[in-house]
Each structure stands twice: as structure tokens, then as C-alpha cells.
Amino acid sequence: MCSPEVRAWAACEQLDIVSNAAMGLSANHLAMWHAMAMIEESLFKRRYVGDQAGPGLLARVVTQYDDVVLYPPAYFHPTVGAPKSNPDADHSLRGAHLFAGTWVEANRERYQRIWRANDDG
């Protein structure tokens, strides 16, 4: 069950990148209004599209709000950066089935290690 005191959250894709693919905010949260207001200015100030309106913009905004919980990369992005190089990666790879089409039956053989790790219950 989700904790009621978490009004807003976002997943960190890397230690310094906040993912715009996994986030949840309560209705009318100020961080989203702030992000929307910054898009036009960001388009003129930033050259890389990921900084203009993607993870870069999101990171600049949500880190200004104390009520936005930032979850570590292993929670939503277990196959990139820090989680992938972690010696305890097997524990975080339980969520990796969401990556690279591992849910597709035809790809199961390629991802047997991940499927076995998830079969324990």
C-alpha cells in the first residue's frame, strides 16, 4: 500500500538524472505547474532536448520541492548505471523484467536468469 504522506515521487534514472518515465504527483502539485512554466524558457537556454523538456528539466524542478520523494535508480531502472555495476545487482534485477521486452514470451529464453530470480514467489 502506498504511504499517504508521499504526495509526489519521481524515479532517479542515474544518480543525477530524474526520470520523466516514472513519477507520480498529486493533482495540481506545484512542481508540475513549475515545470510547465519553465518549458519555453528552457527551450531557448538549453541545447540538448533531454535538458530542454525531459529528465534535465524535471531534475531542475523537482529537486526544489521538499515533498517530492526521489527513489533510487534500482527501484525503476535496475539495468542502468549504478544498479547495474552494484555487486548486489541480483537483488535489484527483480524489476528488470520491465526492460527490453523481457515480458514478451519469445524473449524469455534470453532472460532466463531474470525470470528465475522472479520465480521465487
Digit-by-digit pLDDT tens for the chain (121 residues) are 456 678 899 988 876 788 888 888 888 999 999 998 988 888 888 887 777 888 888 888 999 999 999 988 777 766 666 655 666 665 555 555 555 566 677 777 776 776 676 665 4
Distance CA 46, CA 52 (A): 5
Q: What is the pLDDT of residue 72?
A: 81
Alpha-carbon Rg for the chain, nearest whole angstrom, is: 17
pLDDT confidence of residue 101? 61
| The pairing of beta strand 17-25 with beta strand 68-71 | unpaired
Give the predicted TM-score (pTM) of the model. 0.62
